[in-house]
Amino acid sequence: MTPTTRQECAALDAADPLAPMREQFVLPEGVIYLDGNSLGALPRTAPARVADLVEREWGQGLVRSWNDAGWWDKPRTLGAAIAPLVGAGTDEVVVGDGTSANLFKTVVAALRMSERDVVLGEAGNFPTDLYVTEGAAGLTGATQRRVDPDGPELAAELARGDVAVLLLSHVDYRTGVLRDMAGTTRLAHEHGALVVWDLCHSAGAVPVDLSGSGADFAVGCTYKYLNAGPGAPAFLYAARRHHARADQPLSGWHGHARPFDFAPGYEPAPGVSRFLSGSQPLVADAALEASLEVWSGADLEQVRTKSLALTDLFLSRAAEAGLGSLTPSEHDRRGSQVSLVEPEEGAGYAIVQALIARGVIGDFRAPDVMRFGFTPLYLSYTEVFDAGQALVEVVREGEWRQERFRARSQVT
Amino acid sequence: MTPTTRQECAALDAADPLAPMREQFVLPEGVIYLDGNSLGALPRTAPARVADLVEREWGQGLVRSWNDAGWWDKPRTLGAAIAPLVGAGTDEVVVGDGTSANLFKTVVAALRMSERDVVLGEAGNFPTDLYVTEGAAGLTGATQRRVDPDGPELAAELARGDVAVLLLSHVDYRTGVLRDMAGTTRLAHEHGALVVWDLCHSAGAVPVDLSGSGADFAVGCTYKYLNAGPGAPAFLYAARRHHARADQPLSGWHGHARPFDFAPGYEPAPGVSRFLSGSQPLVADAALEASLEVWSGADLEQVRTKSLALTDLFLSRAAEAGLGSLTPSEHDRRGSQVSLVEPEEGAGYAIVQALIARGVIGDFRAPDVMRFGFTPLYLSYTEVFDAGQALVEVVREGEWRQERFRARSQVT
């Protein structure tokens, strides 16, 4: 039962098995942070871990730390720590580069494994997925088509029999819709297509089972629900069965089979390391390491249960405020995000600004979406109740109509 | 006159205008660090700058810092701070991704600007340059040829009239040979080729004049002579005259003309921003910011003068030790590195290990090169004299023949 009073929320907090995790994060006073789907909060141990890397490993160890501090293997050791969060084998994930570069590598690698030349994407995907596909298609001569992956056209497009690669986001960044990874992957495979999953809005937010779903490739960022810091390095998954054949085009020296031979020709490493390119930013990796340490103590079932309860709660308050929702009411189709709309021109942006002025941080995505992310590791039921109360007041009392909330200046 | 006694070196230190810069770096006790060409030393202000980004900008500012702390513009503001170090306009450089990805972007962009399809590289270039060229050629259908850029074949290869892009390292990572950027660029242009310069071993080490040389594109890392920390983000230069036409394939959303429109189609930003892909690791950028602040107070002429004096000094001690040098004696052909060889099998590796045991850190590059980098901002004449003395002793007394120095275990 979704709670309807603050008192009920306080009781849920008292019984919440994840409540102690909150102590592992730093959050500013007076803020209810509903934007962990854009940039996750700071893990309490991250400053010390980063400082240790900077002052001891770099400052004192200098170049010796490439061996002594395990820097050379970070892409693999961090990948192995992410693996259980996405249902992958520890030898199937590497950390490095950004989401855009990793999308490029996986889409091109998948295209090269197929006789076909169509990349099927989703019409409303996050822009970088669309743009990178455009870039990869431009280079390889592939054709890109786009489809609404939540409608019947997806099956029809796949049935045309010319799709080499299907690229989908597991959770839609605008609406928070969660896709059926196993069912969609099976359908694609039945029609002879490989699948690349973008986990940017699902890793750390919902259960992800890449192995169980038979996924081919996946990429994801670490700075949203995984809390690794602004622009932190991304991860890349390649199913073990594809390692020997996968041929990615950003063939830098870290992906070489014997990088310290300094051989004149490229020979890809045997495993997932072949997806690496060059040296990675170790200072940023240190924050990711701290965050993954927190995640190693999280029960993912508990995370999902609480995520659904928090989003149920906020959806009920949004309905009370009279706002429309793009986020499904069905649990099995919902990520860890609530996306709301208010049809009046400019309302969405202004409502988000008015909430921020009250210390409730969400974000706005053009043209009209108010996005609120729910991170079970550091949000309480009471906070979400209070955020819902703020939403009801801002909307019902027309607070957002004030001129100061309507001026557009932000970039993000 | 190259000094021959420690006393003369102490006198040079006392008169050295760059000596106060040493205080701006942290170096471990008992170490003479001759590997700044691989990983530069820690700037004294970097820990505090990184901690401020982590604890205040991320921890307290959270997602708001994308605007309030200037995160969104870091690729451009950091690029503008690097520009004067490489003779570029402040609107011609961006920071982001790694060297390998940036090589890929510039080589493909240059290929697309040409009717021709040959990428001419250098036979002994750093492996990632060779491997990325191989990857780019594989995708675009271009042909790669390689040449010794320090011999007469370079002119002959260009004269064949089929070269679209010439990719050269400004300073050779193995030998420390400095190439004539202006003359080579002119020659390439006369033969209808564009030039991509790899500045990994020259930025911060030798004068670089991209604009004055007429260079087309350049890339470089920031973690060697620029002291930005292990794996720190790379930079990319594109001459202003090419901005409107340059079409790079890693077309992520940060390179879009209006990224926050979330438009379905890619439209490149008008300036050098079109070379950006996705979000960058801000925690790592903070260390770069601290380092560039130090560089903003450095006189590049003084850096070059001292670099040549230090390498002269070390070369004279190496000759005394009876070692061969791959590094030219002519000043105008020398970077800020000395590369030595000792023909006996396994000697190079063991000599470097024996020096490390004495606190003199250089590195070894297969098959037989001992590399020593000289960073005028934090090395003194006395230190280089002492390092040379250690070299003389290790070699003359056969100290390196001890079994403990001969075992190969390091990765870097």
Q: Both A247 and A383 in a single domain?
A: no
Domain containing A355 — which CATH number?
Answer: 3.90.1150.10
Looking only at the bridges linking them, the beta strands covering A194-198 and A143-147 are unpaired
The low-confidence residues of chain A, meaning pLDDT below 70, are 409-412
Domain extent at residue B251:
48-295
pLDDT of B191 above 90: yes
DSSP track, B336-357: SEEEEE--STTHHHHHHHHHHH
Chain A nearest CA to B319, separation (Å): 26
Q: Average pLDDT, stretch B205-223?
A: 98
Is position B285 annotated as part of the catalytic site?
A: no
Percent of chain B with pLDDT over 70: 99
Looking only at the bridges linking them, the beta strands covering A42-43 and A25-26 are antiparallel
Instruction: State pLDDT tens for residues B149-187.
Output: 999 999 999 999 999 999 999 999 999 999 999 999 999
Instruction: Decide: helix, strand or coil at residue B95.
Output: strand
- A253 annotated ligand binder: yes
Instruction: State pLDDT tens for residues B60-92.
Output: 999 999 999 999 999 999 999 999 999 999 999
Q: Both A98 and A185 in a single domain?
A: yes
Within 8 A of B255 by CB-CB distance, chain A residues are 131
What is the chain A residue with the closest CA to B75?
A: A231
Q: Residue B44's Cα: distance from chain center in Å?
A: 21
Q: Is residue A40 part of a domain?
A: no
Q: Both B289 and B175 in a single domain?
A: yes
Q: Both B104 and B197 in a single domain?
A: yes
pLDDT (0 to 100) of residue A409? 55
Q: Is residue A36 part of a domain?
A: no
pLDDT (0 to 100) of residue A366? 84
Q: Both B172 and B71 in a single domain?
A: yes
Chain A nearest CA to B123, separation (Å): 8
Using the 3D structure, point to which of A295, A310, A338 is the last residue of a domain: A295
Q: Both A268 and A194 in a single domain?
A: yes
Q: Is residue B222 part of a domain?
A: yes
Instruction: State pLDDT tens for residues B84-110.
Output: 999 999 999 999 999 999 999 999 999
Q: Residue B241's Cα: distance from chain center in Å?
A: 24
Q: What secondary structure, in 3-state letters, does B9-47 show?
A: HHHHHHHCCCHHHHHHEECCCCCEECCCCCCCCEECCHH
Q: Which residues of B are annotated as a binding site for pyridoxal 5'-phosphate?
A: 99-100, 126-129, 198, 201, 223, 253
DSSP track, B212-268: HHT--EEEE-SSSTT---TT---EEEE-GGGTTT---S---GGGBSSGGG--SS--B
Q: Both B244 and B201 in a single domain?
A: yes
**Backbone angle region of A96, left / alpha / beta, with phi > 0 → left and psi within -120 to 50 → alpha:** left
- A189 annotated ligand binder: no
Q: Is residue A411 part of a domain?
A: no
Instruction: State pLDDT tens for residues B311-338.
Output: 999 999 999 999 999 999 999 999 999 9
Using the 3D structure, point to which of A239, A273, A295 is the last residue of a domain: A295
Q: Both B260 and B335 in a single domain?
A: no
Q: Cβ–Cβ contacts within 10 Å for residue B258, how many? A: 10
Q: ipTM value, please give it.
A: 0.97
Q: Both A217 and A346 in a single domain?
A: no
pLDDT (0 to 100) of residue A298? 96
Q: Both B280 and B312 in a single domain?
A: no
Q: Is residue A79 part of a domain?
A: yes
pLDDT (0 to 100) of residue A367? 85
pLDDT (0 to 100) of residue B62? 97
Q: Is residue A42 part of a domain?
A: no
Instruction: State pLDDT tens for residues B264-302.
Output: 999 999 999 999 999 999 999 999 999 999 999 999 999
Cα separation, A369 vs B5, in Å, equals 72
Question: b or e along B23-60 (b: 16 or more beta carbons within 10 Å of the residue's beta carbon)?
Answer: ebbbbbeebbbbbbbbbbbbbbbbbebbbebbbebbbe
pLDDT (0 to 100) of residue B409? 55
Domain containing B116 — which CATH number?
Answer: 3.40.640.10
Q: Both A365 and A247 in a single domain?
A: no
Query: Rounded to 5 degrees, what are φ and ψ at B270?
Result: -65, -35
Q: Domain tally for chain B?
A: 2
Contacts of B207 (CB under 8 A, 6+ apart): B87, B300, B301, B304
pLDDT (0 to 100) of residue A144? 96
Query: Rounded to 5 degrees, what are φ and ψ at A230?
Result: -55, 125
Q: Is residue B321 part of a domain?
A: yes
Using the 3D structure, point to which of B234, B262, B295 is the last residue of a domain: B295
Chain-chain contact of A283 with B280 (C-beta, under 8 angstroms):
no
Q: Both A110 and A122 in a single domain?
A: yes
Q: Is residue A258 part of a domain?
A: yes
Cα separation, A116 vs A163, in Å, equals 6
Sort B227 into a burial class: Cβ within 10 Å, 0-12 / 13-18 / 19+. buried
Nearest to B51 among A51, A139, A281 (CB): A51
